[in-house]
A = this chain, B = another copy of it.
Amino acid sequence: MQDLLQTYQYTRNQTKALCKPLKTEDYTPQSAEFASPPKWHLAHTTWFFEEMILITYFKNYHVFDETYSFLFNSYYNSIGERIERKNRGLITRPSIEKIYDYRTHVDKHITKLLELNTSKEIIDLTILGINHEQQHQELLITDLKHTFSCNPIYPKFSKTNYLTSKNKTTGWIDIPEGIYHVGYEGAGFCFDNELGKHRVFLEPFKISNALVTNAEYIEFINDKGYQQAKYWLDDAWHWVNQNKIKNPLYWKLIDGDWYQYTLSGLQPVNPDGILTHISYYEASAFAFWAGYRLPTEFEWEIASKQLDWGAVWEWTNSAYLPYPNFKIATGAVGEYNGKFMVNLMVLKGASTATAKNHSRNTYRNFFSPNTQWQFSGIRLAK
């Protein structure tokens, strides 16, 4: 219990620490419907604890502000109406000061609750809330990068640029055919979409030790990769043409040299660096051009014990669909993962922006195949 409280406090402080370099002006605007403002992340994660735990389990709890559920609910239909996603950047009030007060208020009550009450529901929901907050820590970074990238003066946010300078290993790993167990089983935390350990049959395959580098991807660009339909899925080809995509997100060609916007400002693209900010569409086209393919999520999971990972989220060739025994939890928590199981692709691994101890080899991250603003990259298979 004391451990849980410490983890709670550590995680909550970590979120605030991430916001240290922000100016007040940075907290509110929203640069795209898919991205949320820092203020919103700070408030929403707090609301999650208030809504899922304090309102039900803290006797005589008074909600900090009745309007916050409307403002900071993300997508829980069962909890009620909420502000349109695209309008999150217009909440100039409450001020950021108020939101920090909100965090303090909720932290105080959660702390009290954890000191007194040891019911399994509260423990489980607190652990869920912590993992939820860790997910938003990563989103806070990726969303911020997107907002700053829209500013033509390329602000420098932090000392770290969140990029990985090179691969640690090379070569291919051989995995023989067989029945394998996938999915989570154990005493620790996992999300509901990982549950239901089950068997899959895998044909033999090879998977690369190294992630695709910037230099390798520049070869693809120079070989007119973005101009030739034959490398692309049909939807991908429309996406490339409609959006005039010619390179990974944040890359700019300046006088013949590639630069990229990073959270440390505009920097030259390092040839040895691990490629990131590419969509599934680009990952798939690159793999086809290179004569390989992407691994499935199960291949990745089985190979993962031998892989070094944590540099970028790795696109797999698996659609995000329910495991055989997937169950949707009752209540609002049931909306956490299950309702997104269509039209998305699975990513495995973790990125430099992922919170420590947050990911697992059974972890299933999922995004739309056109997503570029996450720290996403490519590992090849054959």
Q: Tell me if A's interface is mostly helix, strand, loop or mixed.
A: mixed
Which of B92, B151, B341 sits near A151, CB closer than 8 Å?
B92
Instruction: Output the least CB separation between A339 and chain B (Å).
Output: 4
Which of B70, B319, B345, B369 sits near A152, CB closer than 8 Å?
B70
Q: Mark A195-216, 1 if CB is under 8 A from B, else 0.
A: 0001111010100000000000
Which of B77, B92, B152 sits near A155, CB closer than 8 Å?
B92
Interface status of A234 (Cβ within 8 A of chain B)? yes
- Within the assembled complex, what's the spacing in Å between the Cα atoms of A94 and B152? 11
- Within the assembled complex, what's the spacing in Å between the Cα atoms of A29 and B23? 14
Among A55-63, A321-329, A350-358, the stretch that binds chain B is A321-329
- Within the assembled complex, what's the spacing in Å between the Cα atoms of A317 and B338? 13
- Within the assembled complex, what's the spacing in Å between the Cα atoms of A324 and B71? 46
Asked if residues A90 and B147 are in contact (CB atoms below 8 Å), the reply is yes
Interface status of A245 (Cβ within 8 A of chain B)? no
Number of copies: 4
- Within the assembled complex, what's the spacing in Å between the Cα atoms of A375 and B236? 27
Asked if residues A233 and B341 are in contact (CB atoms below 8 Å), the reply is yes
Instruction: Output the least CB separation between A160 and chain B (Å).
Output: 19
Q: Name the B residues within 8 Å of A345 (CB-CB).
A: 342
Interface range for A: 35 or more
Interface status of A300 (Cβ within 8 A of chain B)? no
Interface status of A27 (Cβ within 8 A of chain B)? yes
Asked if residues B317 and A321 are in contact (CB atoms below 8 Å), the reply is yes
Q: Name the B residues within 8 Å of A325 (CB-CB).
A: 203
Given known contacts A153-B71, A339-B234, is B199 in contact with A201 (CB within 8 Å)?
yes
Asked if residues B92 and A26 are in contact (CB atoms below 8 Å), the reply is yes
Instruction: Output the least CB separation between A92 and chain B (Å).
Output: 4
Q: Mark A43-87, 1 if CB is under 8 A from B, else 0.
A: 000000000000000000000000100110001011000010001
- Within the assembled complex, what's the spacing in Å between the Cα atoms of A273 and B54? 46
Q: Name the B residues within 8 Å of A105 (CB-CB).
A: none
Interface status of A10 (Cβ within 8 A of chain B)? no
Report which residue of A30, A203, A234 has the largest number of chain B beta carbons within 10 angstroms of its beta carbon: A234
Which of B96, B322, B339 sits near A25, CB closer than 8 Å?
B96
Q: Name the B residues within 8 Å of A77 (CB-CB).
A: 229-230, 237
Give the top 6 A-B pairs by smallest Cβ distance, nearest first.
A319-B319, A77-B229, A201-B201, A24-B24, A234-B339, A25-B92
User: Which A residues are closer than 8 A to B by beta carbons?
Assistant: 23-31, 39, 67, 70-71, 75, 77-78, 83, 87, 89-96, 147-148, 150-153, 155, 177, 179, 198-201, 203, 205, 229-230, 232-237, 280-281, 284, 293, 317-319, 321-322, 324-325, 339-343, 345, 369
